[in-house]
Structure formats: structure tokens, C-alpha cells
Homo-oligomer: A and B are copies of this chain.
Amino acid sequence: MALQDIVAGPRNEQGIAAAIGILKQRFGENLHTGDAYRQQHTHTMSYMPGQLPDAVVFPQNSGDVRDIVRICADHRVPVVPFGAGTSLEGHLNAPRGGISINTGRLDRIIEVNTEDLDCTVEPGVTREDLNAHLRDTGLFFPIDPGANATIGGMAATRASGTNAVRYGTMRENVLSVTAVTADGREIGTGGRARKSAAGYDLTRLFVGSEGTLGVLTGITLRLYGIPQAIMAGVCPFATADDAVKAVIMTVQMGIPVARIELLDATAMQAVNAYSGVDYPEVPALFLEFHGTDASVREQSAAFGEIAAEFNGGPLQRASKAEDRNRLWKARHDIFWAASALRPGAQSLSTDVCVPISRLAECIRETREDSERSGILAPIVGHVGDGNFHALVFFDANQPDDVRRMEAFVARLNDRALAMDGTCTGEHGIGQRKQTALRKEMGPALDLMRAVKAALDPQDIMNPGKIFSLPPG
């Protein structure tokens, strides 16, 4: 979808005014209609123009969420759930106005069941807060999308990140949720059992639904024991192709790497310049191994042999926590590091994911395309999953630049689909990938629309996300 197509939908002015009046009475100073609040609650992590909600409300508990949704439902007013504001696809925009629900005060960790390796949290808990809370238990929550997102936002977008190759994504790690649905009722999708065959998988239906089916009020998560031993490392390669081939071999051999991340040469230059590190400026893999001392040694030795086979190495190891943290901070700061390569430019992150056998080809063609198109687009990727991001920089004030960027992104999405992949491994559809979703899903998109219409007949739950394009 081109920028100019992300248009505001029809606004229900009368309903919005009435709902705000009632919410004001009910929530007093926890409701904000000032410009500053409204601005802060639209989309800040991407180039997309903000579409402001009419008010921002801060519920204190799930009862408040029920009341907010009921009031909005009574007046057919859109509801946009807001976590930490780190979404990349316009999920927080309010194209038809309405009420932004900031879940920041729903930040209680309800229970941690150390024996069962699970916990239940409110949606506004961030992943860093959760892990800080867990520190003394010997457990951790592995899903790490980089940003300090909220668990609610991560569940809503089916997030993953660097640890997914070993621990899975939010899809695998949410055991159940509670949610307030479009009629203002709170429902629960299950208990704490590790597996269940009890009817439709409503948990997985809510995970990744981007706020379009309900507002999450509680999330029960799987936890993991902190590994006895952790070893990280950086491994340079002659070419990105070689690095990816080493990844494929590593995955096929069943080496249980916890993280295996690719940065291309441009990304490595950016990392050195921004993070004050001094890596070789060639394509590299950032890795992490989890296990017992013996198994970590075994894994890293096995990986070292594979790397050598594909013109890579040596693996520069980091075992001490501070060294590992520095390494992963450099990796996670890539967005800011790359931004510094072209100051003042806008950027977006693509998000394709392909079967790993096609990954080298997909990355190579994408790099060639960016070079041919004169687009700065360093590549970083969760390559163990087949997922990579091209960080595309462009000048939003130059229509030619925007057009060139959009054509590049469309070609990349088409390339991934032709390889049996997806346009989004972890960021979601939001506003910007609806054309790609239509291509990807074909007639299955009608099923999604039917589910949406059945569960939100007034189309008030985060409208304009996933589905705003007309059918066909």
C-alpha cells in the first residue's frame, strides 16, 4: 500500500464525543485529550504519518478495560490498544479516531509458578521488567524482539526476535490469554496446561491478531531455566552467502543454537561506528549457545568446524556476562547504528521470512536489488528462522525516493512469496503490509475477514489494521 493510501476512515464524530464525555466522568484525570498525549500514542517508530486518537485512557485494571470497551461499543467508537509504542507497522494509528487504551498501568506480574515454568502477567509488563522480576527464580522469558516491548504488544503482534530459533516465538510461548472482546466481556482462552485439545485454539487466534479481536488483559507465558552455561560469539565470513550456508548446515545438523544472527558488511560498518566496537567489516554471524558447560563447548566447537568449511571464522568467543551483553547491545542497536549512516533519512524495516534453503538466494537477490536501485539497505537477520530485515533508508520528502523504496519493498515481498515464504516473520501486517497479505493469503484472507466480522461486528477493535483494503 502506498503512503497516500493510508487514509483516515469515516469518523463517527457524534459517537466519539459522547463516549469521551462518559469516559471523562468515569476516568477523570486518567483520560487525556490533549495534543501531546494524542501525538505520543500514534506511531513513532516508522515513517508513517500519525493518525491521532481522540483521547488516551489509562485503565488501572481489567475491570476498567471492560468499562472502556463497553462504552466504546455502545457508541461505535474505535479502540486502539497501546503498549510500549514500539510497533513498526502503524498498529497504533487511529485512522478513524477513537480511544487509545494505554496499558502501561496494567503492569502487575500476577503470579510466577516456578515449579511449572510459567507466569501470568498483565499486558503492560515489559519483557525487561519481567526478566528483572524473575532474576532470583533462576528462570527467564527468552523472547527478545530487541525493543523493550510490552508482553501485551508482543503477544498481539506475534513477536519473536533473536532467541526464536531455539525457544520459538510468542506463538509457542503464550499458554493462554484473557481478553476483553468487542462486546465488553472478558474471556479466558485456557488454563496453564502445557498442551490442550479443547476446541478451537483461541489462544493462537488472539496471538498475532494485532488488537483487532480484543484487548489483552492477561497473558500466561512459558518460562525457561536460565542455562547453566551461556557462550556468545561473533564469527566473520568472506561473504553473506557463506555465512548463510553455515547457518543452514548448523540448523540441519541439529545444533541447538540459541541465537544465530546475520549482519552484512554495511551493518557491521554501522555497528563499529556507532557502538565503538572493532569487528572486521565483513558479513558476520552473532551467535549464542545455551546448555551445560560440556554441551556449550560441544556446540561451539561443532559450529566452528562448520564455519571453517564455509570460509568463516575464527569464532570470537564471549563467555563473561559483560562481554556477552556488549555484543548483544551492539546487535540490538543496529537500527540506531544504521540510521547514523544516513542522518535525517527516514527508514523502514522489511520483515520477510523464507524456508532456510532459499535464504542465501533471497538475501543475495535483495542485496543486488538494493545496489541496482541505489538504496541504502543494510541487512540483519534472525537467519536461523529464515527471517531477515533490510533496513531501508529514504527521504520521505522526495516522492521519487519514496516510490523507489516502495517498489524495492514490493519486489522483496514478492520474492519471499515466490520462495514459499511470508512478507512478515514477526512485525505483523498493521497498515503497511495489507497488499502483501492479500497476495500471500489469497482466498484465505476471506476467512480472516469472516472471523473478524463474527467477533467484532461493529469493527471497533483497532480498525484499519490487517484488513482496511476492500475485499477482492
A residues bordering B, Cβ < 8 Å? 113-118, 157-160, 164, 168-169, 171-172, 181, 185, 187-202, 204-205, 207-209, 224-225, 227, 248, 251-254, 292, 294-295, 298, 351, 353-357, 385-387, 416-417, 420-429, 433, 437, 440-448, 450-455, 466
A100: min CB distance to chain B, Å: 22
Q: Is the CB of B425 within 8 A of A357?
A: no
Could you name 11 residue pairs across A and B whose Cβ atoms are closer than 8 Å? A113-B357, A115-B355, A185-B443, A197-B208, A197-B428, A199-B437, A199-B445, A201-B208, A225-B253, A294-B294, A295-B298
Q: How near does chain B come to A20, taking the closest CB pair, in angstroms?
A: 28
By beta carbon, the residue of chain B nearest A465 is B199
Q: Is A160's CB under 8 angstroms from B442's CB?
A: no
Question: 9 smallest A-B Cβ distances: which pairs?
Answer: A204-B204, A454-B454, A115-B357, A191-B420, A187-B444, A193-B353, A116-B355, A196-B422, A158-B197
CA distance A460 to B36 in the complex (A): 53
Cβ–Cβ contact B444 & A202, under 8 A? yes
**Minimal beta-carbon separation of A147 from chain B (angstroms):** 15
**In the complex, which residues of chain B have a beta carbon less than 8 angstroms from the beta carbon of A192?**
355, 420-421
Say whether B204 contacts A171, CB under 8 Å. yes
The answer to whether B252 touches A421, judged by C-beta atoms less than 8 angstroms apart, is: no
Cα of A372 to Cα of B408 in the assembled complex, Å: 71
- A211→B251 CA distance, assembly (Å): 34
Asked if A187 meets B451 with Cβ closer than 8 Å, knowing A157-B197, A171-B195, A204-B171, the reply is no
Report whether A199 and B454 are in contact in the complex, using a CB–CB cutoff of 8 Å.
Answer: no
Contacts of A187 in B (CB 8 A): 442-444, 446-447
Q: Which of A196, A423, A445, A466 has the most CB of B within 10 A?
A: A196
By the criterion CB–CB under 8 Å, are B298 and A441 in contact?
no
A87, chain B: closest CB distance, angstroms: 11
A227 CB contacts on chain B under 8 angstroms: 254
Contacts of A190 in B (CB 8 A): 422, 440-441
Q: Is the Cβ of A453 less than 8 Å from the Cβ of B454?
A: yes
Residues of B within 8 A of A202 (CB): 444, 447-448
Once A190-B422, A444-B188 are accepted as A-B contacts, the answer to whether A195 and B357 lie under 8 Å apart by CB is: no
- Chain B's closest residue to A426 (CB) is B197
Contact A198 B447 (CB under 8 A): no
A433 to B356, CA, bound (A): 41
- Known A-B contacts: A196-B353, A292-B298. Give 8 more (CB < 8 A): A117-B252, A118-B355, A187-B447, A188-B444, A191-B355, A193-B386, A198-B433, A200-B205
**Cα-based distance from A205 to B208 in the complex (angstroms):** 12
Asked whether A252 lies within 8 Å of B115 as measured between CB atoms, the reply is yes
With a cutoff of 8 Å between Cβ atoms, the chain B residues found around residue A292 in the complex are 298
Residues in chain B near residue A444, CB distance under 8 A? 187-189, 202
A357 neighbours in B (Cβ, 8 Å): 113, 115-116
Determine if A191 and B113 form an interchain contact, defined as CB atoms under 8 angstroms apart: no
Max chain B C-beta neighbours (<10 A), residue from A169, A351, A440: A440
Taking a contact as CB atoms closer than 8 A, the residue among B115, B386, B420 that contacts A356 in the complex is B115
Given A172-B168, A225-B254, A447-B455, also A422-B188 (CB < 8 A): no
Measured CA separation A416–B198 after assembly (Å)? 13
**A63 smallest CB distance to B (angstroms):** 16
B residues within 8 A CB of A225? Answer: 252-254
Separation of A252 and B428 alpha carbons in the complex (Å): 33
What CA separation (Å) do A353 and B223 show in the bound complex?
18
Contact check, B188 vs A442: say whether CB atoms are below 8 A apart.
yes
Chain B residues whose C-beta falls within 8 Å of the C-beta of A451 in the assembled complex: 200, 205, 451, 454-455
Closest to A116 in B: B355
